[in-house]
Amino acid sequence: MVRARMTWLLTAFMLLTGVLGWQSGRSAPSPDPDDESYQYTLLFARVVQLIRQDYVDEDKVGYKDLTYAALRGMLSSLDPHSQFLDEEAFQDIQQETKGQFSGLGIVIGVKEGLLIIVSPMEDTPGGRAGLMPGDRILKINGHSTAKMTLTAAEKALKGVPGETASLTLMRPVAGVPGGGNVFEVNLTRETIRVASVKDARLLPASMAGQDKIGYVRIEEFGDNTSDELDHALENLERSGMTALVLDLRNNPGGLLDSAVDVAGKFVPPNTVIASTKGRTPEQSQEFRARSERQHPDYPIALLINGYSASGAEIVAGALKDLNRAVLVGETTFGKGSVQTVQPLGNGVGLRLTMAKYYTPSMKTIHEVGVSPDIEVPISDTEERRILLAEQKRPLTPEEQAEVAKMEDRQLERAVSALRSVRIYNERQAALNAAPKTTAAGEPAPNPADGAAR
C-alpha cells in the first residue's frame, strides 16, 4: 500500500511538472534515475508520503493543504514579489487591477528586508488614520512580521468589509538609524475603490503667476488610468494649459500596460517606453507608445520620491530618457522587476517574476531607481503635511494646524522649472524673429541676394 501511494505521488508530481513545463513552452524531461529533477521529485514525494503517514494532526495533511503550502514556500523563497495564488488571492488580484478590492487601503512592500507601507491610499482607512509612506509594520493582529512573507502580510491585511485589523507600526525618526516611534492603530476594512487620477487642476496664480500650469496626480496605474488621464488632460487643455506637473510621488505602480500608455501620451507613436529582459526570448520584449490621441508638446515636470515604484518608475525613466520631462524630487524606490499572473485552472494562479525592466536607454531600474534631474529632498514632517492636504475628509483642528504650515517645496521647484522653460523659449523666439544687423547697426546682407562671396 505504501509503495502504491508513493508511485501515485511521484506520478502526480511528474504530471504537475510536465503541465508547468508545457505552460512555459518547454517540454518536461522523461524520468531518468540519473537526472537531478527525478532525484528531487522523488525526495518531494517521499516527504509528502511521510507527512501523510506519520504527522500527528491528521486534519492538516490533506493533499490540497500540503500542495498549496509547498507552492507558497517555493514561490516566496524566490523573491518578495513571486507568489502562489490560491482561490481567494487569485480573485483578489483580479479585482484589484479592476480598481476595487476589500482591505485597509495601504500598499505594502519590502525594503532592506523590512515590511513597510509604500503608499496609503487617499480616503481609505489607512489614509484617514494618517499612516505614512515608510512606516514599518511590526505586527498585524498581534503577529510579528519579522518572518512574515509579503504574500502572507497582504493576505492578513485584506479581509471582509466591516472586520477590524490591529497594526503595530514604527515611524522612522531622522537621526535615529533603525529606530523610531512605535504606535498602534485599529482599522476597519472597507471596499476600496481606486480612482487613480486625482486633483486635476490649474495651479493658482499665487504659485504659477500668469502661467497656466496644470497639475495632475496619479495614485496608481489601473485599468482605467489611461482614460481618466485623457479626460483630465483634455479639460486642462481646454482651459488653456501651457505646461504640466505630473505627480507620481508615493505611486506604488500597478499595471505595466497602463504605465506604458501614460508615458505614451507624451511621445510620438511607436516610441520605445520600456523593455524587459528575462531568461528566454519570449520574456525579453519592448513596450512602445500606442496612444491614438496625442497631446500638445507642452513642457512637463514629473514629481517623484522614494516611494514612487514600479510603473511610476517606468514612466519617470521613459520621459527622462526621451527628454520629454524634467524630473524633480528624490530617487525612486527601485522596484523594477516584472511579475506576470498565470492562471493554473480551478481558480488558482501563479504570480512569477519573469524579467527586469529597463528604460529606453537600457538603464536598469531594479534596486537602483530613477534619479531626479533636480533633487529636492523633503523631511518626513513636510511629507506628512502634503499628504494631509490631499485628504478629502474633514481634518481635525490639529491636522488643520499642520496643513496651515504646509510648504510643498518639490512642487514649487517644478513650477519654477516650467516657468523658466517658458521664459527661455520666449526669448529664443524673439531672438530668432529679430532682423539680423551688422556691427554698424545696418541690416545684414542676405546671402541669397546675389552678392559675391
Question: pLDDT by residue (tens digit) across 307-365?
Answer: 999 999 999 999 999 999 999 999 999 998 888 888 999 999 999 998 899 999 999 99
Q: Are residues 344 and 237 both part of a single domain? A: yes
Strands 190-193 and 100-103: antiparallel
> 298 and 250: one domain?
yes
Are residue 119 and residue 257 in the same domain, yes or no?
no
pLDDT score, position 217: 96
What does the pLDDT look like over 88-116, one tens digit per residue? 888 877 766 555 667 898 888 888 888 99
Take residue 169 and report the three cell numbers written for it: 507600526
- The residue segments making up the domain with residue 29 are 2-61
Range 229-233 average pLDDT: 95
The whole-number pLDDT of residue 88 equals 81
Tell me which residues are annotated as active site: 310, 321, 335
CB atoms within 10 A of CB 71: 18
Residue 91 in any domain: the answer is no
Pair 219, 148 in one domain = no
Provide the pLDDT for residue 173: 80
pLDDT at 394: 72
pLDDT band at 439 (very low <50, low <70, confident <90, very high): low
Whether the CB-CB separation of 53 and 47 falls below 8 Å is answered with: no
Query: What pLDDT is attached to residue 377?
Result: 95
pLDDT at residue number 100: 61
- CA 164 – CA 184 distance, rounded (Å): 13
- Give the helix/strand (H/E) hosting 191: strand 190-193
289 and 345 both lie in a single domain: yes
Residue-wise pLDDT for 184-229, tens only, equals: 999 999 987 767 899 999 999 999 999 999 999 999 998 889 999 9
Residues 131 and 32 reside in one and the same domain:
no
Q: What is the CATH number of the domain that holds 327?
A: 3.90.226.10
Residue 367 region, left (φ>0) first, then alpha (ψ -120 to 50), else beta? left
Q: Which residue has the higher pLDDT, 104 or 179?
A: 104
Same domain, 378 and 359: yes
Position 15 pLDDT exceeds 50: no
pLDDT, tens digit (0-9, with 9 covering 90-100), for 348-364: 999 999 889 999 999 99
Q: What pLDDT is attached to residue 363?
A: 94
| C-alpha torsion 367→368→370→371, nearest 10 | 140
In a domain, 95, yes or no: no
Spatial CA neighbour of 214 closest among 290, 304, 296: 296
pLDDT > 70: what percent of the chain? 86
Cα 167–136–380 angle (5° rounding)?
115
Average pLDDT value for the chain:
85
Domain check: are 166 and 234 in the same one?
A: no
Residue 194 DSSP label: -
Lowest mean pLDDT among 206-210, 385-389, 426-430: 385-389
pLDDT at 306: 93
Q: What is the Cα–Cα distance from 247 to 199, expressed in whole angstroms?
A: 10
**Dihedral sign, CA of 122, 380, 97, 126?**
negative
